[in-house]
Structure 1
Amino acid sequence: MLKISLSEIAEIRFGLHALPGSWGPISYLQVRHFSEDGLRIPGSEEYLPLTTKNKSHVLLDGDVLFVGKGSRLFSWCYTKSEQPVIASSIFFVLRPDVKVVYPEYLSTILNAPQSKTLFLQLGSGTNIFSIRKSELGAFEIPIPPLAQQKRIATLARLHQQETALARQLIAEKQNMYTSIISKLIK
């Protein structure tokens, strides 16, 4: 299968370093706004004002965020919402060439266990995990036909949904168990 370096199929830039507030027209995404699985946590918003400086950092539909520093390693594909969104500087913002790579597929590949293992090897040797932009750009992505990329991305999305439902079920079972034990002990 054809493999192409990430820098050949996507623009790679950093998110914006800013001090967010509790209100504003732009959502400001930070790592804490995502679950351990890299899923966005609803209702955990922070905001920025719209300025000429940050206007160019507003995410576009299909932009892929990748955490390049810290203890958590994940990728997430942005889907346009009603409110503009800007990613913090902890993220690399990848803008894929959609004629070559489907954005959700790119996120799936970056989240794959073998990719994470490679990134962890690249970022090791320091106190705080960090991947350089050049290392990320040199990462090779397998490029099957777009139809196959979409099927792979759909499989990954369904897996995430199934995992989330399983976690909800476990939490409900734990609540039910706790309730029953509490009633039996009284």
Structure 2
Amino acid sequence: MKYGPHLKTAYSGSVRYLKGQHFDVDAALLDADDSYADTSSVDLTAVLLREDQVILAGKGNRHFAWAYRVGAGPCIASSLFYVLTVRTEVIDPRYLALVINTESCGRALSAVAKGATVPVIPKRELMNLSIRVPSMAEQLKAIKLNDLQNRRKNILRKISELNVVLDNAHLEQLINQA
């Protein structure tokens, strides 16, 4: 467990430099095309995220986790994040992120965060966090269910956005007929 490096950023490049603003309310990665790492002063092999890693926002008021997947492209987590490396034969990184993102775990992390202006989760407290690890089959079921729930939430958000457009169009039509 370590913090991501603090690096200079660039507006273009080949390695994304992930910050908190690059994740939505469901901890899904958004387009991070505005933040690339200046990799000239860093050993990439030591800081590039791998599929056995989960990043956890350990600083600030918003604590969330995200499991790195190769499909995201080359990424480096900023110093906002702890980088957790897991033994994938024991726990799927996506399952760990899912558990960390639950309300109960979020409350527990917020409760141990220290700092007057910028709350920080102490490493020792994070290492003492207890997580139930079911069989791999059960982990995969939970991951699948979580994926389906997130898809449903996204569909409902899109429906809501389209309803607003429709409502506004109806209002415009009524106003213009008067």
1:102-121 residue pairs with structure 2 within 5 A? 102-121=92-111
Percent sequence identity is 26
> Which position in structure 2 is the counterpart of 1:3?
none
Secondary structure of residue in 2 paired with 1:140: coil
Matched, 1:152 2:109: no
1:66-145 residue pairs with structure 2 within 5 A? 66-81=56-71, 83-123=73-113, 126-145=116-135
> Which position in structure 2 is the counterpart of 1:45?
34
Query: Is 48-57 or 109-118 further displaced after alignment?
Result: 48-57
Query: Is 13-22 or 78-87 further displaced after alignment?
Result: 78-87
* C-alpha contact (below 8 Å) 1:65/1:76 kept by paired residues: yes
Matched, 1:20 2:9: yes
* Equivalent position to 2:48, from 53, 58, 75: 58
- Structure 1 residue ranges without an equivalent (≥5): 1-11
Could you tell me the TM-score, scaled by structure 2's length?
0.91
* C-alpha contact (below 8 Å) 2:50/2:68 kept by paired residues: yes
Which amino acid counterpart does residue 118 of structure 1 have in structure 2? A
Which structure ranks higher in relative contact order (CA pairs < 8 Å, sequence separation ≥ 6)?
1
- Structure 2 residue ranges without an equivalent (≥5): none
Mapped to 1, the partners of 2:72 and 2:24 lie a distance apart of 22
> Which position in structure 1 is the counterpart of 2:24?
35
Mapped to 2, the partners of 1:112 and 1:86 lie a distance apart of 24
Which amino acid counterpart does residue 13 of structure 1 have in structure 2? K
Query: RMSD in angstroms over aligned alpha carbons?
Result: 1.7
* C-alpha contact (below 8 Å) 1:25/1:50 kept by paired residues: no
Mapped to 1, the partners of 2:155 and 2:141 lie a distance apart of 21
Which amino acid counterpart does residue 144 of structure 2 have in structure 1? T
> Which position in structure 2 is the counterpart of 1:4?
none
- In the TM superposition, what is the alpha-carbon distance from 1:16 to its structure 2 partner? 1.3
* C-alpha contact (below 8 Å) 2:55/2:81 kept by paired residues: yes
Which amino acid counterpart does residue 92 of structure 1 have in structure 2? Y
* C-alpha contact (below 8 Å) 2:55/2:84 kept by paired residues: yes
Could you tell me the TM-score, scaled by structure 1's length?
0.87
Alpha-carbon displacement from aligned partner over 1:85-133 (angstroms, at most 9, x marks no partner)? 1010001111110011111110011011111111111115633221011
Secondary structure of residue in 1 paired with 2:71: coil
Cα 1:74–1:122 shift into 2, 3 Å: same
